[in-house]
Structure 1
Amino acid sequence: MPKFVIERDMPGVGKLTQPELKGASQTSCAVLRDLGTDIQWIHSYVTDDKIYCVYQSTSEELIREHAKKAGFPANKISQVRNIIEPATAE
């Protein structure tokens, strides 16, 4: 299944508390359950004003549907074409 990085512009998101982040995660997971097995949330990176999410999905359209139903922005969606890491240099 293709992997995607979703950039979400969310000013001040880095100041959310753990309970607030838990609530957002619960919302996301509930929508994912409803959408079925063609989309999976891997993890997210929370910065001061953005969240960068890594998903696996059969399509970009399904990611947009998830964002709309969950009430989260999906300002930019990029398909991952390859992964490099320190071991790539070996």
Structure 2
Amino acid sequence: MPTFIIEREIPGADKLSPAELKDISAKSNAVVAGLGAPYKWVTSYVAGDKIYCVHEAESADVVERHAREGGFPANKVTEIAAFIGPATAS
């Protein structure tokens, strides 16, 4: 299944409380459960005014549907072409 990185512009994202992040996570999980399509939320990173999410889905359209149904912005959805890290150099 393709993997996507989603850039979400959310002013003040880095100031969201643990309770607010918990609510966002619960909403995302509920939307994933109701999509009726293969979908996996891998992880998310909160940085400044953005949240960067890594999701696996059949297509960018399904990722955008998740965002619409959850009420989350999906300002940019990009399919990941490759994964690299320190071990890639070996």
- For 1:38-86, what per-residue CA distance to the aligned partner results, in whole angstroms no more than 9, with x for missing partners? 1110000001100000000001000000000100000000101101111
In the TM superposition, 1:1-90 aligns within 5 A as: 1-90=1-90
Hey, what's the Cα distance between the residues in 2 that align with 1:73 and 1:37? 20
Hey, what's the Cα distance between the residues in 2 that align with 1:75 and 1:9? 6
Number of residue pairs matched by the alignment: 90
Kindly state the Cα deviation for residue 36 of structure 1 after the two structures are TM-superposed. Answer: 3.0
Gap runs ≥5 in structure 1: none
Hey, what's the Cα distance between the residues in 2 that align with 1:21 and 1:84? 28
Q: Which amino acid aligns with 1:14?
A: D
RMSD between superposed Cα atoms in Å = 0.7
Q: Identical aligned pairs, as a percentage?
A: 48
Q: Which amino acid aligns with 1:53?
A: C
